Structures are given as C-alpha cells and as structure tokens.
Amino acid sequence: MPETASDLFVERLMDWGVDTIFGLPGDGINGLMEALRKRQDRVRYVHVRHEEVAAMAAVGYAKFTGKLGVCFATAGPGAIHLANGLLDARLEGAPLLAITGMTYHDLIGTNYLQDYDTDYLYANLATYNQRIMGPAHIHNVVDMACRTALSHRAPTHIAFPIDYQTADADDLMRFKRNVPGHTTTAYARPVRTPPQAELQRAADLLADGQKIAILAGQGARGAGDELEQLAETLGAPIVKASLGKDCVPDDSDFTTGGIGVIGTRPTQDAMEGCDTLLIVGSSMPYIEFLPKPGQAKCVQIDDQPERIGLRHPADVGLVGDARATLQELLPLLERNENRAFLEQAQAGMREWWKLMEHRGTREDMPMKPQVVAWELSQALADDAIVCGDSGQVTYWITQMRLRRGQQFSFSGTNCSMAAALPYAIGAQTAYPDRQVVAFTGDGSLTMQMGDLATLMQEQLPVKLIVLKNNSLGLIKWEQMVFIGNPEFGVDFAPVDFVKIAEGCGARAFHIEEQGECGEVLREALATPGPVVVEAVVDPNEPPMPAKITSDQAKALGQALARGEEQRKRIGLTIGHELIDEQTFSASPYGVMGRMKEKVGEMVGRDGDD
C-alpha cells in the first residue's frame, strides 16, 4: 500500500506502463527518490551525471520506442538544467514527462532555498504544465500529463513541492467533486485516416502526375513497406528528410537519400524536376530545397492538421496516420507506366554512391571524416541503432548507408549539440541486446563527458565514435560560407578522449589513418561494454552541399581574402578535390562527369533514331 504522496505518484506512473526513469537526485526531489527505491525491482532508475542528459536520454528513449520518456530533477537549478530536453521533445515530437522538485508549498514565493516557479519556466515548453497541490491531486494530474504527452507527442511537466512528496498518502483533503476513481489510465493511440472522398481527390491528382517525387519525414517511420509500394506504383523517388532517414533504408532502390545542404544531388534534381510532390509525415524546415510554389501540385499526409500546407502549398491535405493513410490510398492509385523520372533518380544514386565510396576510401592525411562514416556504416550490426549529433558530424552521418532493420535519429529540428550520447543512453536502456552507436564530434562530447561515467555505472555497452578536429566545424564553415567572414572563436584546446574514457573505466581506441579505420571500428564494435573511439580527422575538409550556389562560392572567397588563417590549407583541399572529383557526376565539382553523361544521352538518342 502507498504510504506517501510520492508512492501514489510512482505507482500511478507504473499504471501507465512506465518502467524506466532518468534523473539526478537532490534534496528537492528526495521524497520521489524514496518511492523509486522501494520499487527498484519494477522501475529502473538510470542515474545520469547532468539533468540535461536525463531529459535528452528520455527523449531518445521515447523516439526509439514510441513509449513515454520520463525524467526528473531537483528544484531550482536542477529543474532549469532539464529545459533543453523539453525543448528537444517539443521540436522533435517526442512524448516526455518531466518531474521537478519545488520548494515547500507554504514557502513558495518567499526567496527560500531554490525557490523558483518551475511551472512558469516551462509554460512555453510543456504542452501540459501543472504543480501538485496535495495527495488528492496526484492521480488527476499524472493521468492528464501522461495522456497529453502520448496523444500530442510532446513534453509535459509536473512540479512536485518537497513537503507534498512526503505527505501521508491518506491525507487526501479531497473536495467532494473530486470523486475517487473518476480518472483512468486507459489509453489508445489515436490512428485516424482521411475521408474516402479526400483520398480519392489525392489519387486523382497523383494520376495526373508524370514526374512525381515523395518527401518522407519522421512521421513516415514505421511505414517503410507502404512507402516503397507507393514509390513502385507511382514511379516516384523517395526523398528523405534527415529525421526520416530510417523510414526506408538507404539501400532501397527507391530512395535518393537526404535533402537540404546535407542532401544528395539526385534529391535536388528530383525536387527541381518534379511536377507532383507527395509529402508524408514531414515538416522539414529548409523550404528553399522544396519545389518552388507553382512548380508542382502537392498532396500532403500528416496526422497534425495544422501542419498541412506549413512548408509547401498543398492542393490536397490528408489528415491521418501515415501508415494507415497510405494503406487506404494505395488501392486507389493507378500504376504510372512512365518510369523515366524514377530511373533517372536511380541512375543518379548509383553515381552518388560511387562518389561516397571514393570519398570514404581516400588515403589523405589528416584522415577525412567521410572515411569514418563509410567504414562505420559497413561495420554496423544489421539491427544497429545509430544516434547522431548536430554539427559538422551531421553531414557525414546523414550520408551513411543505413541498411534495412537499422534505426537512426538525432536532434534534427532542435539541432541541439551533445544529443548523441544521451540519446544512446536512452536507446541502450530500452534495447539492452541491440548494438547502439553514438556518432558525435569533439565539440559535442566535451559538453557531456561526465556521462561517459553513466555508461559504466549503468552497464550500458554503447559504442561512442567521436570525430576529433579540435574545432566547432559547422560554425567555422557557416561563418565563411554563409556570411563571408573568416572563422573566429571556434577552435579549442585538444582533449585526449582515450584517457578520459579509460579514466571512466571504458575501453578506448584511437584512429588516425584510413588504412586502419575499418579494422579498428570492427574491433571496437565487437568489444564488450562501453567503448570510445577517437578518430582524428581533417579540420579543413569542407562539408560540401550537393550543388554549390554562386552566393556560397562568393562568400567563401571573401572569407579567404579577408584573412582566414587556414586559407592556404582550405584552398589546397578544395583545389585537390576539384581535380580529384571532376569525373564524378554526383560531385559539385563533377562538370566533366556530367558532360560525359550528356554526350552519352545524345549518342543514345541518335542511335535510337
């Protein structure tokens, strides 16, 4: 029987199926800690070293399982440290419940120790945000918070004053209208489909298209079979927003990979050439990479009606679950017998993967970051979970070739640095028997190095791959390529990640050369327990977009001319790659390769005539 209000709280979470909770204790949350201690055989408490990691790990847990992620922190500073995780959940669409301590209920607002109105702080972060007002309030609030988080795939928050945490569970002080048992933990995930008339409108519009492209985002995860059937029926390539990288595998015959500055050339060609666009579960923010308004007719599928037409003018909006909606739509579609647009994209992807292999096997020193991504993708287990990070490493990881059965995510809309390690903590906790890899950069890892100790303490066999270039690489290139300024304030003193990892008790490996990279990665992945791999890479390797704009080239030239300190190395690197990749049609430097393709097409047409 529950003895305290915290007992009531934790048991209600258990009724909601919660069996894992991430957090860091403090005197403002110790009542809850005691309730967890008494139930440690049924609820796993994952003890992290920083509250932000607790929240981000809960987001990772939610993203990879679809279940409710739960985290907690003490009052005041602990609660404030959680905030980025709530922002991540809000922008990434992850169901999250954050529980924070709060000072004694009758001392709130008196400048008492750690006195802060945490519910005010979270007012614009949490979809549901309340403070507990007594033991009789707990079931009502916990039920509403859990149901809201799951229904809206969003963060919710409950503030729990210290004295209420330890209050007698029987001291209910219940108002007569708060009828015992009136609220329930019954819940069913909402899966809706559009009306049949709207589905037919979408089918009619798609039937008129000849050059159809599909844009799939994280809302299409779990609908991979339907997406590939759709692509086959419509003769349409599948373009993937970064958060939808694993909705279909990269080795699928139908996908052109990513979009945006980290996308592929065949994707950009498809967006520029399509006359019809079908968006499935994506509100990818980089609007400039979508077809220009008026270029293509558009059908959009999304389970949130307010997102229809958010990024591109939709002619038909289908409000519903992606998988269920596609299952209803597919029988209404006619096969597009014109396969030229899809075949063009497929030919482009064959050239793209030739380019990726070339870049991933170069023997240059310092080692190219693409080498690590290329070798890692081949070494991963068939059911690996890969957690990425935001920064220059995003370029390399989103170009990895994920296979069917593998999963991937990163902080893609929030774009938070230092997400890979917490996400991996959450993923490995959820799936203890699967291979979980965190792929990060040295800028991100130095923010959260303390939680390497969490991997050891919690016996989480995460494999962490860190690209070491002693620089905030993405910021460096953004300063030069976007606004024409020399890099400034982006370098930092080198860190020996091998020693840091070994100091925490983990195994560690060091890579500097392309020739050893694959072998070392395979050994690291096969090593039991937590492992850190430090890969030293070229800080002057530019993260090139699929197509370089004149504005980007001009800005980079200005940055170099205005005194960029690495201008000689950058110039030599770009000059070497311009020569090295000139015959690769998928490269932005591949003019000769594209000319050769054009000549081949012309000769082929003459032969047909």
DSSP per residue, 99-138: EEEE--TTTTTTT-TT---HHHHGGGT-SEEEE--SGGGH
Tell me: do 276 and 390 sit in the same domain.
no
Tell me: do 145 and 59 sit in the same domain.
yes
Look at 17-21, 40-44, 112-116 and tell me which has the smallest mean pLDDT: 112-116
Share of the chain above pLDDT 70, in %: 98
DSSP state letter for 384: -
Asked, for residue 504, whether it belongs to a domain, the answer is: yes
Q: Which residue has the tokens 């492992």?
A: 531
- Strands 463-468 and 436-441 turn out to be parallel
Q: What value does the mean pLDDT take over residues 128-137?
A: 95
CATH of the domain at 433: 3.40.50.970
Number of alpha carbons in the 13 Å side-chain half-sphere of residue 364: 21
Tell me: do 365 and 458 sit in the same domain.
yes
Tell me: do 278 and 321 sit in the same domain.
yes
Q: What is the pLDDT of residue 195?
A: 97
Q: What is the pLDDT of residue 304?
A: 95
What residue type is 199 in one-letter code? L
pLDDT surpassing 80 at residue 45? yes
Q: How confident is the model at residue 116 (pLDDT cuts 50, 70, 90)?
A: confident
Handedness of CA 92, 97, 98, 102 (dihedral sign): positive
Report d(CA 501, CA 534) in Å as an integer.
10
User: What is the Cα 137 distance to its own chain's centre?
Assistant: 35
Look at 90-99, 417-426, 586-595 and tell me which has the smallest mean pLDDT: 586-595
Q: What value does the mean pLDDT take over residues 100-105?
A: 88
Mean model confidence pLDDT for the chain: 95
Q: Residues 346-362, buried b or exposed e (16+ Cβ, 10 A)?
A: bebbebbbebbebbbbb
Q: What is the pLDDT of residue 606?
A: 56
Question: Which of these three, 546, 564, 582, is where a domain ends?
Answer: 564
Nearest to 353 by CA among 543, 518, 584: 584
Asked, for residue 532, whether it belongs to a domain, the answer is: yes
Give how many domains the chain has, as a whole number: 4
At residue 473, the 3 state secondary structure works out as helix
pLDDT surpassing 70 at residue 190? yes
Phi and psi angles of residue 502, each rounded to the nearest 5 degrees, phi first: -65, -35
Q: What value does the mean pLDDT take over residues 540-559?
A: 92
Report d(CA 403, CA 392) in Å as an integer.
23
User: What is the Cα 171 distance to its own chain's centre?
Assistant: 44
Tell me: do 158 and 274 sit in the same domain.
no
pLDDT surpassing 70 at residue 600? no
Asked, for residue 170, whether it belongs to a domain, the answer is: no
Asked, for residue 185, whether it belongs to a domain, the answer is: no
Tell me: do 384 and 524 sit in the same domain.
yes
At residue 567, the 3 state secondary structure works out as helix
Asked, for residue 354, whether it belongs to a domain, the answer is: no
How far apart, in Å, are the Cα atoms of 460 and each of 113, 143, 219, 448, 512? Answer: 35, 31, 29, 16, 26
User: What is the Cα 156 distance to its own chain's centre?
Assistant: 20
Q: Which residue has the tokens 């994506």?
A: 282
Report d(CA 159, CA 118) in Å as an integer.
7
DSSP state letter for 573: H
Share of the chain above pLDDT 90, in %: 89
Nearest to 202 by CA among 388, 303, 331: 331
Nearest to 213 by CA among 172, 272, 154: 272
Report d(CA 63, CA 263) in Å as an integer.
23
Where would I find the H helices in 380-419? 393-398
> 402-451 pLDDT, tens per residue?
999 999 999 999 999 999 999 999 999 999 999 999 999 999 999 999 99
How far apart, in Å, are the Cα atoms of 344 and each of 269, 279, 326, 549, 582? Answer: 9, 20, 25, 23, 20
How far apart, in Å, are the Cα atoms of 30 and each of 162, 163, 218, 461? Answer: 8, 10, 37, 29
pLDDT surpassing 80 at residue 146? yes
> 47-88 pLDDT, tens per residue?
999 999 999 999 999 999 999 999 999 999 999 999 999 999
Where would I find the H helices in 208-283? 224-234, 265-273
Q: How confident is the model at residue 104 (pLDDT cuts 50, 70, 90)?
A: confident
**Start-to-end C-alpha separation, the chain:** 86
Q: Residues 108-128, buried b or exposed e (16+ Cβ, 10 A)?
A: eeeeeebebebbebbeebbbb
CATH of the domain at 223: 3.40.50.1220
Q: How confident is the model at residue 171 (pLDDT cuts 50, 70, 90)?
A: confident
Tell me: do 548 and 571 sit in the same domain.
no
DSSP per residue, 178-218: S-TT-S------------HHHHHHHHHHHHT-SSEEEEE-G
Q: What is the pLDDT of residue 356?
A: 97
Look at 104-108, 440-444, 480-484 and tell me which has the smallest mean pLDDT: 104-108
Count other Cβ atoms within 10 Å, centred on residue 565. Answer: 11
Q: What value does the mean pLDDT take over residues 265-282?
A: 98
Asked, for residue 219, whether it belongs to a domain, the answer is: yes
Number of alpha carbons in the 13 Å side-chain half-sphere of residue 102: 26
Tell me: do 200 and 337 sit in the same domain.
yes
Q: What is the pLDDT of residue 609?
A: 56
Q: How confident is the model at residue 594 (pLDDT cuts 50, 70, 90)?
A: confident
Asked, for residue 181, whether it belongs to a domain, the answer is: no
Burial of 88 (0-12, 13-18, 19+ CB in 10 A): buried
Cα torsion 243, 127, 51, 100 to 10°: value is -160
Please name every residue paired with 69 in a beta bridge, in sequence order, or none if there are none: 96
Asked, for residue 189, whether it belongs to a domain, the answer is: no
Q: Are 296 and 287 in contact (CB under 8 A)?
A: no
> 361-399 pLDDT, tens per residue?
999 999 999 999 999 999 999 999 999 999 999 999 999
Structural domain including 154 reads 5-165
Tell me: do 63 and 148 sit in the same domain.
yes
Which stretch of DSSP H or E encloses residue 413?
none
Q: Which residue has the tokens 């007992």?
A: 7
CA angle 480, 481, 485 (to 5 degrees): 30
Report d(CA 428, CA 434) in Å as an integer.
7
> What percent of the residues of the chain are helix, what percent strand, and what percent coil, each to the nearest 5?
45, 15, 40
Tell me: do 426 and 542 sit in the same domain.
yes
Phi and psi angles of residue 288, each rounded to the nearest 5 degrees, phi first: -65, -15
Q: What is the pLDDT of residue 105?
A: 81
Please name every residue paired with 302 in a beta bridge, in sequence order, or none if there are none: 319
Tell me: do 393 and 337 sit in the same domain.
no
pLDDT surpassing 80 at residue 462? yes
Q: What value does the mean pLDDT take over residues 497-520?
A: 98
Which stretch of DSSP H or E encloses residue 515?
helix 514-526
Where would I find the H helices in 361-439? 369-379, 393-398, 420-430
Tell me: do 339 and 430 sit in the same domain.
no
Q: How confident is the model at residue 582 (pLDDT cuts 50, 70, 90)?
A: very high
Report d(CA 30, CA 6) in Å as an integer.
9
At residue 98, the 3 state secondary structure works out as strand
